[in-house]
């Protein structure tokens, strides 16, 4: 899957690109089932909110088949290879829960800010893919972006170790206000199966979810293979150390997987 010239221009100007309904509802539902199974497991990779509900599951592509397929899906990998001009490896993979009623805030930050400071990634030749596996609405904690903020380079940040269960390099309120006064603030929403591509320098956050509806998003952070991290300060399942280029699978791999799960469900009903 290749991006058009118009899509490339939008990404360059705004720092993100929204691709509605890139995956079918059936594919998204198969991944949602897998996410629930992962969250129910007692693994070190599953981090939880203070309430006990899952916050995020790291490296799920290494121990779940559906997420393994998603991590090598051509609809995701090809556009990033196009934007980064070359082969990519998986720097990070996480399934963020944002559970109904209990999903906590993700503070204002830039992902590359963390990757540079904690992992010594040389350049921001890396980016994120967000795959909605629930419908994302204005009510259930959507991502918030400051368009154009990716053009400012790495912004000063402090290391927040207290606000949530996950440590993060975050921007202070005055800086966020300054940036939003310049670029505005948007909250892309859409159906399960929709996808967001966004720059690793884009300033973003998400509010807590006090609605009665889950907001589960899978995040793939892909990095050009020449730009791999130099420091190994974090667990391997948080910041991966396999810099092998991703080998793309067939476009129908996730469809086949979803159909197989539906057939097994029907057979046991």
- pLDDT at 225 exceeding the cut of 90: yes
The structure's pTM equals 0.93
* Angle at the Cα of 101 from the Cα atoms of 99 and 105, rounded to 5 degrees: 70
**Average per-residue pLDDT for the chain:** 93
Buried b (16+ CB within 10 A) or exposed e, 112-143: bbbbbebbebeebbbbbbbbbbbbbeeebbbb
**How many alpha carbons lie under 13 Å from residue 181 in its C-beta half-sphere?**
6
State the residue for tokens 């995956």. Answer: 23
The third-level CATH classification (topology) of the domain covering 5-268 is Jelly Rolls (2.60.120)
DSSP 147-182: TTGGGG-SPP-EEE-SSSSS-EEE--HHHHHHHHHH
Q: What is the pLDDT of residues 142-195, one digit of tens each?
A: 999 999 999 998 887 776 545 554 666 788 899 999 999 999 999 999 999 999
Categorise residue 167: left if φ over 0, alpha if ψ from -120 to 50, beta otherwise: beta
Give kind and range of the element (H or E) at residue 48. strand 46-48
Please write the tens of the pLDDT for every residue from 11-52.
999 999 999 999 999 999 999 999 999 999 999 999 998 888
Please report the pLDDT score of residue 269 as a whole number. Answer: 57
pLDDT of residue 130: 98
- Which of 83-97, 168-182, 203-217 has the weakest average pLDDT? 168-182
């Amino acid at each position: 899957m290749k991006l058009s010239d118009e899509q490339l221009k939008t990404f360059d100007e705004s720092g993100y690109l929204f691709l509605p309904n890139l995956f079918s509802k059936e594919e998204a539902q198969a991944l949602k089932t897998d996410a629930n199974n992962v969250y129910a497991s007692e693994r070190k990779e599953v981090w939880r909110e203070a309430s006990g509900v899952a916050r995020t599951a790291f490296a799920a592509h290494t121990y779940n088949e559906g997420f393994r397929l998603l991590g090598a899906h051509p609809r995701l990998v090809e556009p990033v290879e196009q934007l980064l001009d070359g082969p990519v490896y998986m720097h990070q993979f996480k399934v963020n829960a944002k559970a109904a009623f209990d999903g906590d805030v993700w503070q204002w930050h830039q992902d590359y800010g963390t990757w540079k400071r904690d992992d010594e990634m040389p350049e921001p030749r890396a980016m994120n893919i967000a795959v909605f596996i629930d419908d994302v609405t204005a009510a259930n904690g959507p991502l918030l972006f400051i368009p154009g903020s990716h053009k400012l380079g790495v912004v000063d940040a402090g290391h927040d170790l207290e606000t949530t269960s996950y440590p993060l390099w975050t921007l202070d309120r005055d800086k966020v206000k300054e940036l939003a006064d310049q670029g505005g603030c948007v909250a892309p929403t859409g159906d399960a199966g929709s996808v967001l591509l966004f720059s690793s320098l884009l300033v973003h956050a998400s509010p807590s979810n006090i609605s009665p509806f889950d907001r589960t998003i899978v995040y793939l952070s892909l990095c050009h293979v020449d730009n791999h991290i130099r420091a190994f300060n974090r667990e391997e399942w948080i910041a991966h150390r396999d810099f092998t280029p991703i080998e793309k699978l067939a476009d129908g791999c996730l469809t086949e997987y979803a159909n197989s799960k539906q057939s097994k469900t029907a057979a046991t009903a």
